[in-house]
Structure 1
């Protein structure tokens, strides 16, 4: 039996999770999270987000230990997000992990944030060898496993889909509570008129920045006239962006002959995205695997779980190498724990 504690702080969510591996079984002992929420129309700056993480990490840590009903003596390894992510928040969280490693005399494991999402998704859904659509505020990738690496088949050429949705929510001055993407999803359900937007798929890659600029211009020109509504714009944006994602995911499935799609990352909570993916999968006699917001949205459990997989396979992160890498590619990780 091994127990890991995981610290996630790559963006505006500070998560601490504790997980136990025993005889091939995974038990989630606790999953505590605190989100830094800014006023409507504002994003979150790295400096302020890092301060939020520093302010709340001890409270979140104590609750995670309490929920798990263990003490630090029961923990075998401390895992932390090494990257990718925002420099300030990543560093503040890594410092906590390093400090506890020294205080508690426990080994460290640095975890790739994207791999954490994938392994958590595989564990929760039972997906065996899926094509992975990883969609979040900072990442958009289509991934498949091959020869001990998670290979990137396609990705965004500019901004991530979550960032595109977040920035459009700011244009409409939507609330950031619980998240801009969630509020866009609710607005989209009331949309009645589809507005044509640029559809930018380039081979296996996608581009979102031009679509954002285009819809921002439409909002400035046509919202004041009452010709369209914010609901119509949210509906049209979602339908266009998600159609692009479904297209490149299906192409990857055809290439690797997969019959499973695993959707991970914060945007993966979106019910409409899941519905569109299920329609495509049904035509291919495939299935869609997705999780709810406990595991889709950034959390400490996914870092603890992925870190423990590596730890049980002999991996350790020396203290002098426990730095953060803002651009830590998914395919840089050697996935030794998979065949």
Structure 2
């Protein structure tokens, strides 16, 4: 019997990725290309969209060739509807519409955040964990309940990845492979801890004030040789990650869950994983995390999540295959999780 298969398009930020995935989670191909700007610079929507336009069709060809499939083998085409940057999101939305009409395939619009979670679950085998979703544009503590992924805590201003990226610009660190990765490497050499503001407000966190404070501190202390860039990176990481550990543990207590799944680009950070692992083990739980193949934005996560929805009767009409910069995690009806839960309940009842 032929396995259901999807082609997924991810292009919500500075990465364009195409993935071919089957319903049982086999990742047949997952190529991507990252738009890297010079040190000290961020990526702007227009230039990022031009990058995606340049690379999207070669990536489609590469994804199909690596997976050894043809368009005829594909059951549906999935794309990131949001959240993300408008111009880059538009590229995938347009390409998916064209391919849908050329190949006569249904479209499935996917929430970027939910895709990170489902990818994390299938790759790690995590069943029903509390999810810490940390990336350049998002910081949320999430748990599944009654058909939706509920947000228990989040950033009230900028995301953690954005905070790290912007401080990397202050230090003019390279954006290759990513500013956050280069901060992580520099932090390993830090020896002196510098006190920074610690801003937890109930279940939520705030990073913008910490960023302003460390920018001013960097200017003053580096000029006077009072600390090194490595000390600043070390202090920033320790402070930000301690805040995340606190709100994640609070959500675990609230939901009566002991396992954590970390997803999103910042989830690759080994220090963050280490701090979470210690907290989890103290609660008798387990930490689930992935490497950069799957925690960083990729097409496979969109393909897999779209296929889950499609297998349960969900698709997106052509005229509704739009994109949006704001698309909350808890807006999605995770029908596949509902079916999972009811199967478990019936199994127990029997």
Separation in structure 1 between the aligned mates of residue 153 and residue 273 of structure 2, nearest angstrom: 19
1:71 aligns with 2:70: yes
Separation in structure 1 between the aligned mates of residue 308 and residue 220 of structure 2, nearest angstrom: 52
User: Paired residue for 2:5?
Assistant: 3
Deviation of residue 12 (structure 1)? 0.1
User: Paired residue for 1:12?
Assistant: 14
| Structure 1 runs (4+) greater than 3 angstroms displaced | none
1:41 aligns with 2:40: yes
Deviation of residue 26 (structure 1)? 2.1
Deviation by residue 1:163-220 (Cα, 9 ceiling, x = unmatched): 0000000000000000000000000000000000000000000000000000000001
Aligned residues: 336
User: Paired residue for 2:132?
Assistant: 133
Deviation by residue 1:34-83 (Cα, 9 ceiling, x = unmatched): 00000000000000000000001111111101100011111110000000
User: Paired residue for 2:204?
Assistant: 205
SS in 1 for 2:19: strand
Deviation of residue 13 (structure 1)? 0.2
User: Paired residue for 1:290?
Assistant: 289
Deviation of residue 149 (structure 1)? 0.3
Separation in structure 1 between the aligned mates of residue 25 and residue 279 of structure 2, nearest angstrom: 31
Q: How does 1:1-339 map to 2 (within 5 A)?
A: 1-21=3-23, 25-338=24-337, 339=341
Separation in structure 1 between the aligned mates of residue 214 and residue 329 of structure 2, nearest angstrom: 31
SS in 1 for 2:336: coil
Separation in structure 1 between the aligned mates of residue 82 and residue 187 of structure 2, nearest angstrom: 32
Deviation of residue 263 (structure 1)? 0.1
Deviation by residue 1:95-149 (Cα, 9 ceiling, x = unmatched): 0111100110000000000000000000011111000000000000000000000
Separation in structure 2 between the aligned mates of residue 190 and residue 238 of structure 1, nearest angstrom: 12
SS in 2 for 1:218: helix
TM score, norm. by length of structure 2: 0.96
Deviation of residue 282 (structure 1)? 1.1
Deviation of residue 321 (structure 1)? 0.6
SS in 2 for 1:52: helix
